[in-house]
Structure 1
Amino acid sequence: MVNVTYDASGDLQWYDAATDTNIVYNLGDIAWTLASTALVWIMIPGVGFFYSGLLRRKNALSMIYLSMMTVAVVSFQWFFWGYSLAFSDTASPYIGDLRYFGLKNVLNQPSAGSPRVPAIVFCVFQLMFAAITPMLAIGAVAERGRLGPLLVFVFVWSTIVYDPIACWTWNPNGWSYKLGGLDFAGGTPVHISSGTAALAISLYLGKRRGYGTERLAYKPHNTTYVVLGTVFLWFGWFGFNGGSALSANLRATEACIVTNLAASVGGLTWMFWDYRLERKWSAVGFCSGAISGLVAITPGSGFVGAPASVLFGFMAGTVCNFATQLKFIFKYDDTLDIFASHAIGGVVGNILTGLFAQASIAGADGITSIPGGWLDHNYRQLGIQLADSVSGLSYSFVMTTIILWIMHYIPGLRIRCDEDAEILGIDDAEMGEFAYDYVGIESELLPRHEYDQGASGGGREPRHTGTSSQESDTEKDSQVIPSTAT
């Protein structure tokens, strides 16, 4: 039986027989951390909707599916050995051991993150970070990736890439943690690692069919999905950053304030940069900027004040906006600009954290003590932040590339789909299910003069070609009509 009782204030007490001490867990902190767990969970399908809306409709469902698949795979991986590899208290500076394999003895002992919440609460909270990270990365397979092998890729990548970076960043035994690296909620483990992995995936998969031509000069098929995904992400990010305080205190409140402010400024900044080009107020631009602001503030959210967060948002909205042009300069096909938004945004956040971190903000929880950044005349902090960023970038890129090429030569595990599947759409080719009842892809399946031949594919049923005078206007409108007469 677990040795837990309640004290006079109603807080949970656990008796540690090994040290003959009573450890007190605050129920308010537990409640806030569990609520934050749910908030971060909703971000994962939020990523799916955000990615889905940006694609062509024939690939819309696959991204939403991948978000749910990733939750399931990583939940098992985290139970199996992921938590132990990241947070075992006998870990090396680089990766943990299997002390907590299968979550053995992960229940009532103090957590690696805070003595005010038990390990099991910290475990489920950190699971959500582990789950969203590979989902951010595998958005790079959009429109040209096989879904089956991604089950294996997510499990392996989480084990070999995410868990070691999480260990060296957040585990008290990790080299970056001991060096004094400041990463409140995942600038390097979540955003730099996933964004760099997306670059590696994009380079491995190669360009989509029609890259560089008018064929791929399409606009997002469903801007509502983009906005909906942003809503889920922005909403959940209060738990992502605020919950990382692992306590319902002033530091958590400060993290929520700067998170919202950076997102707001980032969204406006990106939108204004886009307005200068087309003189249009872009919802997609605003959403992209808001995400970049959220990414940048993530490592600094528990260390910087509100004035600094305005700069975080502005710099992220500016730098990430211009970073989207890197794919044209270096000729790689990053379909969803994941590297520009997450890897570059994460580096921006880490650097600004080194400059603007303040001991007074970190100490708002009454526990944390740091030397601060340049504002507190701790000039070495910037070097530490750069070292952590470069380590995350290089490790994620190299290991992701190795994983992809090993899978490439294992029968059945090659991620790149064939050209026929790419033309038909991943939803139809890989799932046989669709985001919508009708997906018009006849323009890619047939030459223009064959439109009236009743081509099928990409929808639940072939296009009706009846000539009855009773055919409704709705049915006519649903057909693809050639733009020129033959």
Structure 2
Amino acid sequence: MGAVAERGRLLPALVFIFFWATLVYCPITCWIWNPNGWAFKYGVMDYAGGGPVEIVSGLSALAYSLVLGRRQERMMINFRPHNVSLILLGTVFLWFGWLGFNGGSSFGANLRAVMACWNSNLTASFAAMTWVLLDWRLSRKWSMVGWCSGTISGLVAATPASGFIPPWASVILGVVTGFVSNYSTKIKYWMGIDDSMDVFAEHGVAGIVGLLFNALFGSDAIVGLDGVNVGAKNPTTGTAVGGWIIHNYRQIYIQLAYIVATAAYTFVVSALIAYAINIIPGLKLRASEQAELLGMDDDQLGEFAYDYVEVRRDYLAWTPQKNDQVQDANLSRANLYGCGEHSGMFSNPGQETKSQPISSPIPSKSSSQTNLQDVTAVPSVVGAPDHPSAEHGETVETVDVELSEKPR
């Protein structure tokens, strides 16, 4: 559903999900988790769903984004993550739940489940650190959004691999996944596809990396920790279940065949479903341009998550200029809403004089050499007739600013 963000209609997306689950997810799940599925018989190593969960979601999002089209560029001038705190909180919840997802895929409270949880934590941690370092090299900032993206990509890579590889290999998996997934976010720009949530990079690509690591570092010692698959044989090679570290070199071809088949089937069928739904009257996937400008919350839900209380930050107004010594001035108790005119609202305690609201902002240092030490502001309580709050009978606290300029 991340592909629908900011431009997709809800009802057609729900119709798409029904046919997608029936025609894409269920068949691929049967391939790998049904004893009669071709991937199961072929000996594919996919512990908790790198194919049916991760590759399928990543390639489906890419196909849906292709059909849906790009967002309006002029509406993305001020684009940024809208709530980093919720991104962090959601990532923590995902991480916690993922331990049950990967650990529970051993179908019992056994040592393999413990190993899966341990490997999941290692992969997620090192993928997060790698992603943050890659972002730091560009911005010289420690990005929390980057940490969350790296964590999710690491958990995705651990999904097919956590029950097959040893812990030391999980560290390598985390570093490689963070690096590959971070750079894979550029693929959408090369293809001209607006994958707004980077689902392809963080799920599709990371799932592929995890499946390939099974071919390299899969170990029969880890598989046998569940007490059931001790001495299990690969039905295709006739060797123990594992990868190159136990000299099963043919496993790489098995994994590659599974990856290509899953990715190709998912992308083609998902795109066909999306195209078919899009031409049905009343089920057009894309919202109108006016709806995009209004916002999907308002257009599709009629509700808002954050717009009821909104603060716009004006750093030029709120941040003192360099070399300006503000010593004796204290911020008043006036309501500050980030407007430029409020940058000069200082008050001296103990003074009370009624005055009219400020009508113009304090001149900046570039336009007038104003000494801020000479700025005095007197708070007062007025109900000015021309004040927008006066007609509602509200009491408004304002300040009177006196400026005296000194040449410098």
TM-score tier after normalising by the smaller chain length: 0.7 to 0.9
Distance 1:471 1:180, change over 3 A: farther
Who is 1:362 aligned against? 223
Matched, 1:268 2:148: no
Structure 2 counterpart of 1:408: 278
Q: Report the Cα distance in structure 2 between the residues aligned to 1:337 and 1:468, rounded to whole angstroms.
A: 45
Residues 283-294 of structure 1: pairs in structure 2 closer than 5 A? 283-294=144-155
1:191 counterpart residue number: 54
Map Cα deviations across residues 457-483 of structure 1 (whole Å, 9 max, x no partner).
xxxxxxxx9713547589xxxxxxxxx
For structure 1, which segment, 465-474 or 240-249, has the greater mean C-alpha deviation from structure 2 after superposition? 465-474
Q: Classify the secondary structure of the residue corresponding to 1:185.
A: coil
Q: Residue 181 of structure 1: SS of its match in structure 2? A: coil
User: Do 1:302 and 1:362's aligned partners in 2 also have CA atoms closer than 8 Å?
Assistant: yes
Over residues 178-236 of structure 1, what are the superposed CA-to-partner deviations in whole Å (9 max), with x where a residue is unaligned?
Answer: 000010001010000010001001111111011xx683452201001110110111000
- How far off is 1:260 after superposition? 0.6
Say if 2:66 is the partner of 1:145.
no
1:373 pairs with 234, 237, 243, which one? 243
Superposition misfits of 4+ residues, deviation over 6 angstroms: 439-442
Query: SS of the residue aligned with 1:194?
Result: helix
In 2, the alpha carbon distance for the partners of 1:187 and 1:473 equals 60
Q: CA offsets per residue over residues 404-450 of structure 1, 9 Å max, x none?
A: 111112122221111111110111001101112527799xxxxxxxx
Question: CA separation of 1:201/1:472 partners in 2, compared to 1, >3 Å: closer, same or farther?
Answer: farther
Residue identity matched to 2:389? S
Work out whether 1:250 is the aligned partner of 2:111: yes
Tell me how far 1:288 sits from its aligned partner: 0.3
TM normalised by structure 2 equals 0.74
Distance in 2, matches of 1:420 and 1:389, equals 40
Show structure 1 runs of 5+ residues with no match. Answer: 1-137, 443-464, 475-486
Give, in whole Å, the separation in 1 of the partners of 2:266 and 2:88: 29
Q: 2:31 aligns with which of 161, 164, 168?
A: 168
Q: Distance in 1 between matches of 2:168 and 2:132?
A: 21
2:54–2:203 contact (8 Å) kept in structure 1: yes
What amino acid is the match of 1:186? G
**Which residue pairs with 1:108 in the alignment?**
none
Q: 1:222 to 1:471 in 2, by over 3 A?
A: farther
The secondary structure found in structure 2 opposite 1:435 is coil
* Residues 408, 363 of structure 1: alpha-carbon distance in 2 compared, 3 angstrom cutoff: same
Opposite residue 341 of structure 1, the aligned amino acid is E
What 5-or-longer segments of structure 2 have no aligned partner?
234-239, 313-385, 399-408
Call closer, same or farther: CA 1:437–1:354 in 2, change over 3 Å: same
Residue of structure 1 equivalent to 2:168: 307
* CA-to-aligned-CA distance 1:27-65 (integer Å, 9 cap, x gap): xxxxxxxxxxxxxxxxxxxxxxxxxxxxxxxxxxxxxxx
Give per-residue Cα distances to partners, 1:95-135, cap 9 Å, x unaligned: xxxxxxxxxxxxxxxxxxxxxxxxxxxxxxxxxxxxxxxxx
Q: Match of 1:308, as an amino acid? A: A
**Aligned-residue identity in percent:** 53
Q: Is the 8 A contact 1:297 1:349 kept in 2?
A: yes
Structure 2 CA distance for partners of 1:266 and 1:472, relative to 1, 3 Å:
farther
Q: Is the 8 A contact 1:424 1:441 kept in 2?
A: no
Q: Give aligned pairs, total.
A: 313
Q: Give the counterpart letter for 1:327 in structure 2.
A: K
Partner of 1:177: 40
- Counterpart in 1 of 2:91? 230
Cα distance in structure 2, aligned partners of 1:392 and 1:220 = 32
Aligned match of 2:67 in 194, 204, 227?
204
Question: TM (normalized to structure 1)?
Answer: 0.62
In the alignment, the residues of structure 2 paired with residue 353 and residue 361 of structure 1 have an alpha-carbon distance, to the nearest angstrom, of 11
Quote the residue 2:378 is aligned against.
none
Which residue is 2:258 aligned to? 388
Q: Kindly provide the amino acid, as one letter, of the partner of residue 467 in structure 1.
A: P
2:389 to 468, 475, 485: 468
Partners in 1 of 2:160 and 2:206 — Cα distance?
10
Q: 1:436 aligns with which of 301, 306, 310?
A: 306
2:195 maps to a residue whose letter is: D
In 2, are the aligned partners of 1:203 and 1:332 still within 8 Å (CA)? yes
Aligned partner letter, 2:49: G
Q: Tell me: CA distance 1:217–1:203, structure 2 relative to 1, closer, same or farther (3 Å).
A: farther
Greater helix proportion: 1
Q: Secondary structure at the match of 2:45?
A: coil
Q: C-alpha separation between the residues in 2 aligned to 1:330 and 1:288?
A: 21
- SS of aligned partner of 1:304: coil
- Contact 2:75/2:293 (CA < 8 Å) preserved in 1? no
Partner Cα distance (1:418, 1:146) in 2: 9
For residues 273 and 26 of structure 2, what CA distance do their matches in structure 1 show?
A: 15
Residue correspondence of structure 1 range 115-130 to structure 2 within 5 A: none
- Measured on the aligned residues, the alpha-carbon RMSD in Å equals 2.0
Contact preservation (8 Å) 1:355, 1:373: yes
The residue matched to 2:160 in structure 1 has which SS?
Answer: coil
Take 1:410 and 1:466, find their aligned partners in 2: how far apart are those partners?
Answer: 53
Letter in 2 for 1:200: A
- 1:344 alignment counterpart: 205
What whole-Å deviation, never above 9, does each CA across 1:140-197 have from its counterpart, x for those lacking one? 0100010112221111110100000000011110000000001000101000001000
How far 1:367 sits from its partner (Å)? 1.3
Question: Aligned-pair distance for 1:293?
Answer: 0.6
CA contact (8 A) 1:265 1:310 kept: yes
**Distance in 1, Cα, partners of 2:217 & 2:280:** 47
